[in-house]
């Protein structure tokens, strides 16, 4: 099975409700954060030399990945090159649009927001690997290849945040299921006519409009932290019974290797 060009040996892991991210993987955020200063620090020269040595970025990210216990395969060279070439800074990262309905705070601290998300197209892949972390890693890599070039347009589609994963739990929220869905929101310019993926396992889905209760949290995302965040959110909600009880969304906004990664746990209101 083509798992998307990576192998995971450890680390942590981090989606609509109908499937996660983690500290042990290379993500789109890592690649878009690539800079000439980083390359210079690594002693590999400047980005102007990319055409002369097309494997240079791949080798750089393979070195970075080893620090996260991830192996990036040689076949990832092209999407890494494509994403780095299209890096214009954080300003070009489109956020999934929503309308804020209300906020709940306590002593000046945000507990959660109630939001309305409109219907939209998402590129989704569901993974069922031996471990939760492996599913997240393989899913991210395959979505990344779709974004970069392996689509019917044959071009870079643009970055959107957050990248989300759907996690499913047992009734007591104590165990996360093996099946995990990784999803990417199509930027506005592609919503009307979503480019089709070359990867037959990536499905373009229309997620219906939804009311979401979103709670921010920082740090790594793995099975333990996700279960803890689900439990905390359920305790904070005034009417948790209004929400879906066995599927939740983990939204990741920053590099999962960062010590204070910015995430959210999402509960979806029953329709």
Q: Which CATH number do you get for residue 106? A: 3.20.80.10
Evaluate whether residue 165 is within a structural domain.
yes
Evaluate whether residue 74 is within a structural domain.
yes
Q: Which residue has the higher pLDDT, 116 or 177?
A: 116
pLDDT at 89 over 60: no
Evaluate whether residue 1 is within a structural domain.
no
pLDDT at 83 over 80: no
Evaluate whether residue 60 is within a structural domain.
yes
Evaluate whether residue 218 is within a structural domain.
yes
Q: What is the pLDDT of residue 148?
A: 85
Tell me which residue range forms the domain holding 46.
Answer: 6-268
Per DSSP bridges, beta strands 120-127 and 70-72 are: unpaired
Evaluate whether residue 189 is within a structural domain.
yes
- DSSP class of residue 209 equals P
| Paired strand residues for 207 | 120
Evaluate whether residue 106 is within a structural domain.
yes
Q: In the structure, what pLDDT confidence band is assigned to residue 262 with cuts at 50, 70 and 90?
A: confident
Q: What is the pLDDT of residue 122?
A: 98
3-state secondary structure of 27: coil
Cα(8)–Cα(137) distance, integer angstroms = 7
Evaluate whether residue 211 is within a structural domain.
yes
pLDDT at 14 over 60: no
Output the average pLDDT for the chain: 77
Cα(175)–Cα(154) distance, integer angstroms = 40
When divided into structural domains, the chain yields a total of 1
pLDDT at 87 over 60: no
Q: Is the pTM of this model over 0.85?
A: no
| Contact indicator for 47, 39 with CB cutoff of 8 Å | yes
Q: What is the pLDDT of residue 85?
A: 61
| Paired strand residues for 64 | none
Cα(14)–Cα(94) distance, integer angstroms = 20
């Amino acid at each position: 099975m083509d798992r998307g060009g990576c192998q995971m040996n450890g680390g942590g892991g981090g989606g609509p409700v109908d499937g996660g991210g983690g500290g042990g993987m290379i993500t789109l955020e890592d690649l878009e954060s690539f800079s000439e200063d980083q390359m210079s620090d690594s002693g590999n020269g400047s980005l102007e030399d990319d055409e002369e040595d097309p494997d240079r970025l791949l080798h750089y990210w393979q070195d970075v990945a080893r620090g996260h216990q991830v192996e990036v395969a040689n076949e990832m060279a092209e999407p890494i090159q494509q994403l780095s070439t299209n890096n214009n800074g954080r300003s070009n990262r489109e956020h999934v649009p929503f309308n804020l309905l209300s906020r709940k705070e306590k002593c000046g601290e945000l507990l959660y927001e109630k939001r309305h998300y409109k219907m939209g197209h998402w590129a989704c892949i569901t993974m069922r690997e031996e471990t939760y972390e492996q599913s997240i890693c393989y899913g991210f890599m395959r979505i990344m290849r779709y974004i970069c070039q392996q689509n019917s347009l044959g071009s870079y589609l643009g970055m959107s945040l957050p990248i989300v994963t759907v996690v499913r739990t047992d009734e007591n929220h104590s165990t996360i299921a093996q099946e995990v869905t990784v999803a990417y929101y199509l930027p506005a310019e592609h919503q009307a006519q979503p480019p089709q993926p070359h990867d037959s396992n990536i499905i373009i889905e229309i997620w219906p409009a939804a009311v979401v209760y979103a709670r921010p949290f920082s740090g790594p995302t793995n099975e333990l932290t996700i279960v803890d965040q689900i439990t905390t959110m359920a305790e904070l909600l005034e009417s948790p019974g209004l929400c879906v009880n066995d599927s939740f969304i983990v939204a990741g906004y920053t590099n999962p290797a960062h010590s204070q990664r910015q995430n959210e746990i999402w509960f979806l209101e029953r329709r």
